[in-house]
């Protein structure tokens, strides 16, 4: 079966994101103590994972399933190291520079770093080939009989609607931390989806991605507090100290959401998302 234009696009983007993942995998395997290297590897995993999610139905499912399983294992090892780094940083900000919790976190960080190094060395030896186009007609949300622009015109404005609707339910006083975390993940997936199709839009996509990143940074700061408080739940003084950072971070997110994502802003999002246009960088 001849590959459709959307299948070719899926393969091209997946191959590019897989290449970035392998680059960061090699670098982090050499520098597992570097928080920035771990951060970059985690971002590359999220982007590749979202690529698989976005192009569901367009790529061979078996290789995708196998790669996603391996990506989750790498992500878990990276996350264990990063959680220790975040907790130590928040304790420092809270005025706690030593004590049992600090010592425990440092030991956990060292152990997690060793496990990460071992796992990355093993993962580097594996083959990471981009899954080929699927050989079936069904393609999830994609219509193979339409060109990429027609698909994007139909799909992306609906994602903007979903983002605004979900965000409005959590950018309110009393929202549960679990709900804020869930929205952080979904808004991050929306942003990475937009970045997949940067070649079909002009400068507005950069503006939209920047606004989404600012939301995620604020939600990430909230989640850092929540994760740290859970890690240190046996240390009431530490939990209380970190808890004092949480309230202002929640307010900051709520104020930013109100400023940048009020209902009238959705008109702008849907206007430009409804007009994809192929450029040289979007050619398949």
**What pLDDT, in 10s, does the model give residues 68-115?**
999 999 999 999 999 999 999 999 999 999 999 999 999 999 999 999
What 8-state DSSP symbol labels residue 132? P
What average pLDDT does this structure show over 153-160?
A: 96
Nearest to 9 by CA among 148, 198, 201: 148
Least confident range of 79-88, 93-102, 122-131, 269-278: 122-131
> Strand, helix or coil at 58?
coil
* pLDDT of 1 strictly over 90: no
Q: What value does the mean pLDDT take over residues 251-258?
A: 98
How many angstroms separate the Cα of 104 from the Cα of each of 88, 107, 211? 10, 5, 37
Q: What is the pTM of this model?
A: 0.90
pLDDT at position 166, please?
97
Q: How is the chain split into domains, by residue range?
A: 5-124, 148-277
Q: What number does CATH give the domain 5-124?
A: 1.20.120
Q: Report yes or no: 61 and 14 within 8 Å, Cβ to Cβ.
A: no
DSSP symbol at 3: P
* Helix residue ranges, H only, the chain: 5-30, 35-54, 61-93, 100-124, 148-170, 177-196, 204-231, 236-260, 265-273
Q: What confidence score (pLDDT) does residue 280 get?
A: 45
Query: What pLDDT is attached to residue 129?
Result: 83
Based on the number of CB atoms within 10 Å of its own CB, is 160 exposed (0-12), middle (13-18) or buried (19 or more)? buried
DSSP 279: -
- Which pLDDT does position 144 carry in this prediction? 86
Give one word for 283, left, alpha or beta, with left for phi > 0 and alpha for psi -120 to 50: beta
């Amino acid at each position: 079966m001849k590959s459709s234009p959307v299948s070719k696009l899926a393969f091209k983007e997946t191959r590019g994101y897989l290449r970035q993942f392998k680059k960061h995998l090699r670098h982090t395997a050499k520098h597992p103590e570097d928080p920035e290297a771990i951060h970059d590897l985690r971002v590359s995993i999220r982007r590749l994972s979202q690529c698989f999610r976005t192009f569901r139905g367009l790529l061979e499912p078996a290789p995708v399933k196998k790669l996603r399983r391996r990506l989750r294992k790498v992500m878990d090892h990276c996350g264990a190291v990063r959680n220790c780094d975040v907790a130590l940083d928040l304790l420092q900000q809270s005025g706690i520079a030593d004590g049992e919790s600090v010592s425990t976190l440092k030991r956990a960080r060292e152990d997690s770093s060793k496990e990460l190094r071992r796992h990355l060395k093993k993962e580097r030896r594996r083959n990471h080939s981009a899954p080929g186009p699927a050989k079936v007609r069904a393609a999830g949300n994609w219509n193979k009989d339409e060109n990429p622009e027609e698909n994007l015109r139909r799909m992306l404005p609906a994602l903007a609607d979903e983002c605004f609707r979900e965000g409005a339910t959590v950018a309110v006083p009393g929202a549960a931390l679990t709900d804020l975390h869930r929205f952080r993940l979904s808004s991050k997936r929306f942003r990475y989806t937009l970045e997949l199709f940067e070649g079909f839009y002009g400068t507005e996509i950069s503006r939209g991605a920047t606004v989404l990143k600012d939301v995620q940074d604020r939600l990430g700061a909230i989640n850092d507090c929540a994760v740290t408080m859970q890690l240190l739940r046996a240390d009431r003084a530490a939990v209380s100290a970190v808890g004092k950072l949480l309230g202002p971070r929640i307010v900051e997110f709520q104020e930013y959401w109100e400023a940048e994502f009020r209902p009238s802003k959705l008109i702008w999002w849907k206007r430009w998302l409804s007009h994809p246009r192929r450029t040289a960088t979007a050619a398949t």
